[in-house]
A = this chain, B = another copy of it.
Amino acid sequence: MDDATERSGARLSRRGGGGAARRAERTATRIEFARFITRNIPDLEILNAEAIEIIEANAEIVLEEIGVNFVENPEALRLWKDAGADVDGERVRIPRGLARQLCKTAPSQFTQHARNPERNVEIGGRNLVLAPVYGPPFVRDQDGGRRYATIGDFQKFVKLGQMSKWIHHSGGTVCEPTDVAVNKRHLDMLHAHMTLSDKPYMGSVTLPERAADSVEMSKILFGADFVDQNTVMTSLININSPLTFDGVMMGALEVYARAGQACIISPFIVGGAMAPVSVAGTLTQVLAEVMAGVAYSQLVRAGAPVIGGAFVTSIDMNSGAPTFGTPEAAQITLGAGQLMRRLGVPFRSAGSFCGSKLPDAQAAYETANTLNTGLLSGVNFMLHACGWLEGGLVSSFEKYVMDADQLGILHRLAKGIDISENGQAMDALREVGPGGHFLGSAHTQANFKEAFWRSSVLDYKPFETWEDEGARDTATLAAARVAKMLGEYQAPDLDVAKAEELNDYVARKKAAEPDSFLS
């Protein structure tokens, strides 16, 4: 076992964007990226056989006796009725076993293609794909404080993602570009992901026609035939917990499923509000909701790639605020992983969750608790893996690079322990013996460069040096790293004709209707 996968993609840029001097400088910058994680360590199975049996049985009772609502979606109701469900108004009651049976056509693993094939990701199985924060209307950085996000901020986050070694996926709404009309911002967001990054990305879900735009733009980028035959987007479909599937979100799901594009189908749950205050009760609801949603995706198109899972956190019963990094959230994440593996669909959960307003110790405790849980729960697709702040209201530039750095730990931890002859190091133990020192041993000399994971953000300096350099805290160190990464950013090559066609598509669609800042 070695770091070959981590280094395999390290390469020099092939093309600069400016004059000769800039080109030379850029050529000197090494951009590293890591392959998605493939776990070589066990999952933590927190539910025993009895607990699994109870929760799975209860989820079937929920579907059969309580049912789920498919709102403003007559076509969905027809599909469910044809499949054998009991449809009463918008309420769909699903006979025991039917939803789980329908889920069987969903692939347990699929490839999401990137325009740079080296960045393709495998979603499912023992793999873990990391994507950045999604959805905040605000951004924060040390210089500018907290403010509404703009498309300029959005582009900076996409550039950071492209430059972040441990981030495998460019994500989706890395922040809401609030300075662009609501009915047009999906075009600018997709354009940024497609042109500023060559990692895989997510499509728009806010209306079915925006999902269709996402498919069309992907066809320009990849070619229409390729998109017809391959998955090039993974998009985020929220379930309205408890037990409700709204027509707009399902409309976007239908567009993607028919186009063979992947969706995450997962509830957004603040426990105590949208689900019971108990872990087992929440897991029951999550499983019922995911089974209904995944089953519906397979009714739309059998074999459509989907990801099940949950965004779940608990509530502070004093203030009503969502809380993060809590033991209940960890238990739900671990339990949901077991339930999704048994369901046979890739699992989405966890992220760089925190409630803190600043990228401080609270943010880091809560995030580290959640990232570690995510790795051990068997998450296959971790949205929000970096940059999340203030309960998801804020995308933080500094926290983005702080979290992205921590993700390197997950990569290394997941490799497991090397027990090759070199890993056993018996020659070193013999060479050094009692009272000796390993720094100079042949084994150390041969292995030290790759032996230990090393942070690119955190401070390892002697106290006096650190003090002389301004006694900087982590956020301040991270601010410097943000500036460095953006300064060294290099746009990935893009075929000129495709770039022009994408520009034309965006311009044409923007011109076709007036701006709306409402919806």
Residues of A within 8 A of B (CB): 41-42, 44-47, 50-51, 54-55, 58, 61-62, 65-69, 91, 240, 242-244, 271-285, 314-319, 321, 323, 325-328, 330-331, 335, 355-369, 372-373, 376, 390, 393, 399, 402, 406, 409-413, 416-419, 422-426, 428-430, 432-439, 441, 443-444, 447-449, 451-455, 458-463, 466-467, 471, 473-475, 478
A68 to B416, alpha carbons, bound, how many Å?
A: 29
Residues on B with C-beta less than 8 A from A283 are 417
In chain B, what residue has the closest Cβ to A409?
Answer: B327
Q: Identify which of B61, B91, B428 contacts A276 (C-beta below 8 A).
A: B428
Given contacts A358-B473, A429-B276, A437-B273, contact A376 B328 (CB under 8 A): no
Decide if A433 touches B42 in the complex (CB within 8 Å). Answer: no
- How distant is A295 from chain B, measured CB to nearest CB, in Å? 16
In chain B, what residue has the closest Cβ to A322?
Answer: B460
Decide if A276 touches B435 in the complex (CB within 8 Å). Answer: no
A479 to B325, alpha carbons, bound, how many Å?
A: 22
In chain B, what residue has the closest Cβ to A478?
Answer: B361
Decide if B365 touches A367 in the complex (CB within 8 Å). Answer: yes
A285 to B436, alpha carbons, bound, how many Å?
A: 13
Given contacts A281-B426, A425-B278, A428-B281, contact A452 B272 (CB under 8 A): yes
Residues on B with C-beta less than 8 A from A91 are 434
Given contacts A68-B434, A428-B276, contact A46 B41 (CB under 8 A): yes
Given contacts A46-B41, A50-B419, A355-B459, contact A361 B473 (CB under 8 A): yes
- How distant is A428 from chain B, measured CB to nearest CB, in Å? 4
A42 to B460, alpha carbons, bound, how many Å?
A: 34
In chain B, what residue has the closest Cβ to A398?
Answer: B361
A276-B438, A281-B429, A323-B454 given; 20 more Cβ-contact pairs under 8 Å: A46-B416, A47-B417, A62-B429, A65-B430, A66-B430, A69-B434, A242-B435, A242-B436, A243-B433, A271-B451, A277-B448, A277-B451, A280-B417, A280-B425, A331-B417, A356-B459, A357-B466, A360-B474, A362-B459, A365-B458
Given contacts A272-B444, A452-B328, contact A360 B432 (CB under 8 A): no
Decide if B460 touches A323 in the complex (CB within 8 Å). Answer: yes
Given contacts A275-B438, A277-B452, A429-B276, contact A356 B474 (CB under 8 A): yes
Residues on B with C-beta less than 8 A from A274 are 437-438
Q: Identify which of B327, B424, B437 contacts A453 (C-beta below 8 A).
A: B327
- 16 sampled A-B residue pairs with Cβ under 8 A: A51-B419, A272-B452, A273-B438, A280-B425, A281-B423, A281-B428, A284-B426, A285-B429, A323-B452, A327-B413, A328-B453, A357-B459, A358-B471, A367-B368, A369-B409, A372-B373
Residues on B with C-beta less than 8 A from A406 are 365
Residues on B with C-beta less than 8 A from A430 are 65-66
Decide if A362 touches B364 in the complex (CB within 8 Å). Answer: yes
Decide if A58 touches B426 in the complex (CB within 8 Å). Answer: yes
In chain B, what residue has the closest Cβ to A450?
Answer: B277
Decide if A278 touches B429 in the complex (CB within 8 Å). Answer: no
Residues on B with C-beta less than 8 A from A44 are 41-42, 44, 376
Decide if B463 touches A357 in the complex (CB within 8 Å). Answer: yes
Q: Identify which of B279, B317, B369, B439 contacts A368 (C-beta below 8 A).
A: B369
Most buried by B among A58, A281, A355, A433: A281
Decide if A276 touches B425 in the complex (CB within 8 Å). Answer: yes
Given contacts A243-B434, A276-B444, contact A402 B361 (CB under 8 A): yes
In chain B, what residue has the closest Cβ to A430?
Answer: B66
Decide if B277 touches A438 in the complex (CB within 8 Å). Answer: yes
Given contacts A277-B438, A281-B429, A452-B277, contact A424 B58 (CB under 8 A): yes
Decide if A417 touches B279 in the complex (CB within 8 Å). Answer: yes
Residues on B with C-beta less than 8 A from A58 are 424, 426
Given contacts A327-B413, A331-B417, A453-B326, contact A438 B272 (CB under 8 A): yes
Decide if B417 touches A355 in the complex (CB within 8 Å). Answer: no
A355 to B455, alpha carbons, bound, how many Å?
A: 12
Residues on B with C-beta less than 8 A from A66 are 429-430, 433-434
Decide if A434 touches B280 in the complex (CB within 8 Å). Answer: no
